[in-house]
Amino acid sequence: MRVAVLADIHGNLPALEAVLRDVAEAEVDAIVLNGDIADGPMPGETMDGLLGLGDRAVWVRGNGERWLVEAYDGTFQPDPSPTSAPAEWFSWCAGRLTGAQRDRLADLPLTVTLDVDGLGPVAFCHATARDDNEFILVDSPLRHFHDAFGSLPERTVVVGHTHMPFDRLADTRRVINPGSVGMPYGHQGAAWALLGPDVVLRRTAYEVTEAAARMSATSLPGVQSVVDNVRASASDAEALTAFQATIDRQTARATAE
């Protein structure tokens, strides 16, 4: 089996369309949608496009899917992290989903395992194996990797969530982040990964001006942040600093509890 991994699409339909064209040429057997799929400028249209992939698509729950369902149901409580989108973002996105789309997101698993050519059993999760909103970074300590994935028997894990590609060995376990299709940090273009028999971190260029115009035409609260990132990606150094601050806050909260 050869697998394409698409993470953190965030409702950026132009980026998704470009990546799916590249994926079609790669002739993969499965397309893993590794969380944070639809919350963004074009949520319903993004869901329609991905549902059209049929059984080739393997869906994994991210924090974005959980929050969209909660927003749809009227139970969403905003995350206090500065790296999280505001409540208005999720309310707007949820309001543009159908009931069937909401139900598809509600039933997604936290982890999925596929047997990939050349790699063997590979586990896929959006953030970590224990939490869909836990942040694992390329420079996180080995202890963090061990605690986050220690429950998994698989020696290769593919994550997302932090929008920055990496491929790292952490205490004998290989951890891969394909980066973000819709909101990358540190580079231009839509990031994704091709697995089997090797691991190839891919990047797909797309027409930025047209994409920015399509997204700007929506009424998503805070859409300008997405448009700005499409035009000039946020720095990976800035993102690492922001995510580390969130990790420190999550750690302090867990210790207090």
What pLDDT, on a 0 to 100 scale, did the predictor assign at position 255?
A: 79
The number of residues in the chain equals 257
Domain ranges of the chain: 3-256
Tokens coding 133: 């909103």
The confidence score (pLDDT) of residue 179 equals: 98
Concatenate the DSSP letters of all residues of 167-180 into one string: EEEETTEEEEE---
Q: What is the pLDDT of residue 158?
A: 98
Burial classification of residue 77, based on how many CB atoms lie within 10 Å of its CB (0-12 exposed, 13-18 middle, 19 or more buried): exposed
d(CA 20, CA 26): 10
| Cβ proximity of 28 and 2 under 8 Å | yes
Q: In the prediction, which pLDDT does 231 show?
A: 94
Residue 179 to residue 158: CA distance in whole angstroms: 10
Q: Which CATH class is domain 3-256?
A: alpha beta
* pLDDT at residue 20, rounded to an integer: 98
Task: State pTM to two decimals.
Answer: 0.96
DSSP per-residue codes, 93-153: HHTTS-HHHHHHHHT--SEEEEEETTTEEEEEESS-SS-TT----TT--HHHHHHHHTT--
pLDDT digit string, tens, across residues 47-94: 999 999 999 999 999 999 999 999 999 999 987 776 778 899 999 999
Q: What is the mean pLDDT of each run of 10 residues along the chain (257 residues)?
A: 97 98 97 98 98 97 97 90 83 98 97 98 97 95 95 97 97 96 96 97 97 97 94 92 89 78
Query: What pLDDT is attached to residue 82?
Result: 66
Q: What is the pLDDT of residue 251?
A: 84
Q: How far apart, in whole angstroms, are the C-alpha atoms of residue 4 and residue 2? A: 7
